[in-house]
Structure 1
Amino acid sequence: MMQFNDFQIPGVIRFGEGALATIKDEVLSKNPSKLFIISDKGVEKAGLVDELKEVLETCEIPMETMTDIAGEPTFSLVEETIKTLNQSKADFVIGIGGGSALDVAKASAALQDKHDLENYFSGKKTIENRTVPCVLLPTTSGTGAEVTKNAIFGDEVEGVKRGIVSPALLPDAAIVDPELTLSCPSRVTAASGVDAFTHAIESYISTNATEQTRIYSEKSMKLFAEHITNAVHNGSSIEARTGMSWASLLGGVSLANAGVGAVHAMAYPLGGTYHIEHGVANALLMPFVFKVIGKTCTDDMVRVASFVEIGDFTSSKHQALEAVVHYLLQLLKDLNLPTSLKELGVEKADLPKLAEQASQVKRLLSNTPYRLHEDQILGIYEDAYEGGKGGSNGS
C-alpha cells in the first residue's frame, strides 16, 4: 500500500523587518472593493492597527475594522464576526494580532456567506474553499496561526475547545514582520514563545512527522532556545524578536503538516473550563506530559537535548528524557510562567472531568507516540496540579 505525504503552506510567506508595508501589494493584486480588518483591543492600543490602516490608505479602498476579539475566542464570537463581515459587504479580510485574532480572521474569510455554520463548527462539514481573500500578520511569536490550516475556538455550551481544520484556512499571504512583535508584553512573549516550542517538539515526535516537517521543527527548537530568554527579558532586541518570529513561523509550518499531540489535547479543557491562555496551558503541561510520553521516543529526546544545547546524551540515552523534562520545568521559572495548575486556580475536584474531556480529543492523542488512556491523563493532570511535588507520574 502506497503512502503519500502532502505539505501545505500559504500561497505566500513573506518575512522581514518592514514587511508590513508590502501588504498594499497583496491587496491591490486582488482588486477588492472593501477591506475588513480583524484584530483585538491590545493590538489596537499598541498602535499597530492604525499603522496598518496608514499603509492601506494609499490603496484608496474603503475599510472597516473590528477589534472585539477576545483572548480565548468562542464559536459564537466567530458567528458574530461573520455576520458583521457579511453586513459590511467587504471582500478582503486582513487579520492582525495574536493567534486568537488570526484564527477568527481566517475562519471568517473562509466561512463568509456560507450557511449551516454549526455544521462547520462541529466538524460535520469541511470547508472546501475560502469565500474571500485573506492576509494574516502576526504580532506575537508563538501560535504560528498565520501558516496553519486549523483554528481553535471555545464551545460555550460544552465548555470545551475544538478545532476547525481545512486547507481553506491557509491565507493567501502570511506577512511576518518582527517589528510588529516589539510591543508584545513580556508575559505574552513568554507564553506564546513556549507555545511555539510546543508546536515544534510535538510535531517533531508526531506519528505523522516526515523528513520534511522535521527540518522545520528542528530549526524552530534551535532558534527558540537561542532567543526566548532575551525576547522575554529584553523585548526591545530586534535580533531576539526576529529569532522568535522565525521559531514561531517554522514551528507553525511543522504543526500544520505533522500535527501536535497530547500537550494540546490536555490544554484544550483548561482553556474551555478555566479560560487559561493557550500558551500558558501548553507551557505548564509540557514537562509533565513528556515525563510520560517521552519514554517511547528516547532517540528523539537525545536529539531534542542537542537542539536546545543541554547536553550530548548519545552514549547515555536513558538520561536524555530527564534532562529535557528538567529543561522544560526550568523554562517556566526562567520566564516567570506558572509552575502548577493549583497556582492557576484549577480545582483538584475538576481533574477527573478534565481528563475525561482530554481523552476525547482523539485527533491529537493519535498523533502522540504513546497511547495515553484516561487514567494516565488524569495522573499527568495530578502531577501538574502539584507542580511535580507529590503528584502521580501518570505511568
Structure 2
Amino acid sequence: MKKSLIALAVTSAVAAPAFAQNSVTLYGIIDAGITYTNNSGGHSQWQMQSGILQGSRWGLKGAEDLGGGTKAIFQLENGFNVMNGKLAQNGRQFGRQAYVGLTNDSYGTLTLGRQYDPVVDMAQSTTFNGQWGAFFSHPSDIDNTDNGFRVNNAVKYVSPTFYGLKAEAMYAFGGVAGSFGQKSTIGGGLSYTAGPLYVGAGYFFAKNPAAQFDDGNFITNIGTAAAPVAPVVGSSNGHGAFGYVGTPGSMESASVGASYAFGPALVGANFSHVRFDDANQGSVARAGGAGDYVWFNSYELWGQYSLTPATTLGLGYTFTNGRDALANVKPKYHQVNAVADYRLSKRTDVYVMAVYQHAAGGSAKADIYDGVAGSQSTTANQVVARVGIRHKF
C-alpha cells in the first residue's frame, strides 16, 4: 500500500476533514549511532545518539487542489530521540515544522506557523553541515545554519522561481501586549540556480532571542543589572561559542554561500556573520549597566566525491573568529570535518564521521556543537567520531 494511503487512513481516523485532502503523505527518517568524544569535561565519552546525520523525525504533508493553479498545503513534522522515545525540540509535538498555507505556481507560496528562517532555507545547503549534519556546524551552531532553532508565529512568503532566481521574506510576531517588536523576527533571502551552480543568501534579525528560541543553545543569564550573576563576560562558561553571548537583546545572522556540482563531485563555500547586541544581560561584568556586543564570523570550504554510486566521501574546513566587546576577548575556532557514507539501498545508508576542533583566544576551550557531542573540552582540542545508520521512509 502506498504510504500516502497509509497516512490518509491515519489522519482520517483522527479528524474527518482529512477526507477533503487530495493527498496526504506520511514520511520519516530514523538516524541512530554510536559517538565517541575524546574529551568531554575532562573525560573520554562513549554514547548512543539519535539524529546526527539527520534528525530523527516523522511527518505529514498534505495538499488540496483549490483550482486555478492554487493549492492549500500543510506540513506537520515531529522530531524525536530514537534512543529513548522522547520528543525533541524542547518537548514539542511538532517541533521541527508546523504550518499551513497556500501555494500557486504563478504567485508563490504563503505559509503560517512554526518554520525555518531564511538563513536555513537559502544558505544551509552551501554548508558542510547542510549536506552531512549537526557535528559539522559552525561552532555551537552559533549562526543557526544548522537550524538549531525554528521560528514560531511566522508568516513566510516564497516567490516562484524566475530565470533561476527565488526570493523569500518572513516575519514572526512576538505576541507581547504593548510591544509589537518584542520577541519578533524579520528576515529575507535570495537564491539563484543555473544547472550545477547554486548561490544562496539569507538574513534574519530577532529580538529577545534567548526567550524566543527556547529550543536553541542560548545560555540564559538569570541575573539583573542590580543583582548580577555568573556566567561572566569574556568566557565560554563551559558552553562553547554561545557561552560568550549569555542573554542578548537581539540576534542578527547573515549567511551567503555557493555550491557547484561537476560529475561525481560537489564543492561548496560559505561565509556567515552573526552579531548579538546588548549581550550578557544580568551577568557579573554587566553590573552598572555597561553594554556589550558579541560577534562571530565563519569561513568554510568543503567538498565531496562519489567514488561509486553507493560510496561518497566528504571533507571540509571551517575557521571561526569572534569578539566579545566588553571583555575585549577574541575567540577563534579551527575545525576539520570528514565523512564517509555507504548506501545499502535507496532508503538506507551507513556512515562514519569525524571532527577535530582547535580553539584559541578567549577561554580557548574546544566544544564541538555544545551539548550534542558532549561537554566542552578541558583543553583547546576536541575530537569526535561516530558510526551510524540512517533509514528513510
Q: Which structure has the bigger radius of gyration?
A: 2
Choose between structure 1 and 2: higher helix proportion.
1
TM-score relative to the length of structure 1: 0.28
TM-score relative to the length of structure 2: 0.28
Choose between structure 1 and 2: higher strand proportion.
2
